[in-house]
Structure 1
Amino acid sequence: MAMIPMQAMFTAFIGQRRLASGPAGEVALTVKRTAPRPDEPIIIFDNGTGRSIDFDLRGRDEEVLARLAKLAQPPSEETAPPNEPRGRGRPKLGVVAREVTLLPRHWEWLSAQPGGASVALRKLVDEARRASGDKDRERQARDAAYHFMSTMAGNLPQFEEASRALFADDRRRFTGLIADWPADIRDHIVKLACSDRA
């Protein structure tokens, strides 16, 4: 399972009804204590992405919470297999080396910048994040709403029309098209789609 950000929020549905919403541990324990029914599966969603996620619910409550807490921690150098050579970067600071492919003229420009290529790239990324922050948040909210919607409402009436309205950012038409959907599903879609406004 992938790492879980500390502030991440999750929502569990049983069939078409919202079962629980909150931090990973709270939602996991609620799901663990709920008896699933064959006709109403329990699905947990990451509110940040709108995608379903599986939690390992085996064992005692303390064991479940310990596994989730471990997933919320950034990987340390000690978790790397002992025989693997240590890579570049500063893992303790969260700096991780990855491959970037650029043309020679890009490398020349980067190496001529104060602090070298890594510092210049970090500055460029930070500037781009500041400049496009609102658009990125809108896109992430729309994508999260769509992922959730595809899983939970893909067979509901007017799904295709609602999807088009969502991506066209036609909020009035979108909310009108999903108005007759089950209340918990509809409300969660609207919450995810509008999270960029918060």
Structure 2
Amino acid sequence: MTSSFTAFEGERRLASGPLDEVALAIKHAGPQAVAPIVIFDDLTGRSLDLDLRGSDADVLARLARNSEPGKTSEAAAPTSEPRGRGRPKLGVVAREVTLLPRHWEWLNAQPGGASVALRKLVEQARRASGDADRARAAREAAYHFMSAMAGNLPGFEEATRALFADDRRRMAGHIATWPADIRDHVVKLAYSDRAD
């Protein structure tokens, strides 16, 4: 899935697409902007800050450096503990899992041992709940965006309740008077990959 970002200048959608394109659109609009510009990650609905100093090439170089493979986020940063088991070249990382003794007994009795059994269980759960997980993530992204851009608009609380109740019609009624670009983006984040 390609990452998508959307920038808003006040209540108006300024740009949407890959981060480098949106960053340059913001940079070029900055001097003429009549309202604050905010950029959102469409996957999470959260806003982010970009360093837009320097030339277009400088901005693009910084974005490329920050998205290089192998860069770790704060949450995924390695600990100072010595490296244990795992197959880093294959992307396998050793982590600690806490289970009850009966769980360990069952896992160790499985063909391939605990690690193989856990990987199979995780993959099975991902397949079984994939649609529900995507729908939940979409609702959360829409909520984060709504909170930032529409928290003071009429009907926000009722729209939020309808969003989490997965009642699209009721939500549409509560956001009908919102600025069109904000309203359309909420609907896109919450429902674009799902059938009505």
Q: Is TM-score (shorter-chain normalized) higher than 0.5?
A: yes
Where does residue 98 of structure 1 map in the other structure? 95
Matched, 1:147 2:144: yes
Structure 2: 5+ residue stretches without partners = none
Matched, 1:180 2:177: yes
Moved over 4 A (4+): 36-39
Q: Is the 8 A contact 2:8 2:38 kept in 1?
A: yes
| Inter-partner Cα distance in structure 2 for 1:47 and 1:12 | 10
Identity %: 75
Pairwise CA distance, 1:47: 0.4
Instruction: Find 2:6's aligned residue among 11, 21, 40.
Output: 11
Where does residue 28 of structure 1 map in the other structure? 23
In structure 1, give the amino acid aligned to 2:121. L
| Inter-partner Cα distance in structure 2 for 1:76 and 1:146 | 28
TM-score calculated relative to the size of structure 2: 0.87
Where does residue 74 of structure 1 map in the other structure? 69
Provide the aligned length of Structure 1 versus Structure 2.
190
Between 155-164 and 114-123, the greater mean CA deviation after superposition: 114-123
Instruction: Find 1:171's aligned residue among 168, 171, 186.
Output: 168
Pairwise CA distance, 1:39: 6.4
Where does residue 109 of structure 1 map in the other structure? 106
TM-score calculated relative to the size of structure 1: 0.86
Q: Compared with structure 1, are the counterparts of its residues 37 and 84 closer, same or farther at alpha carbon in structure 2 (3 Å cutoff)? A: farther
Q: Compared with structure 1, are the counterparts of its residues 56 and 129 closer, same or farther at alpha carbon in structure 2 (3 Å cutoff)? A: same
Between 54-63 and 8-17, the greater mean CA deviation after superposition: 54-63
Q: Compared with structure 1, are the counterparts of its residues 116 and 66 closer, same or farther at alpha carbon in structure 2 (3 Å cutoff)? A: farther
Residues 36-89 of structure 1: CA distance to partner in whole angstroms, max 9, x if unpaired? 678621111010111111222233322322332233333279xx99x9744432
Structure 1: 5+ residue stretches without partners = 1-5
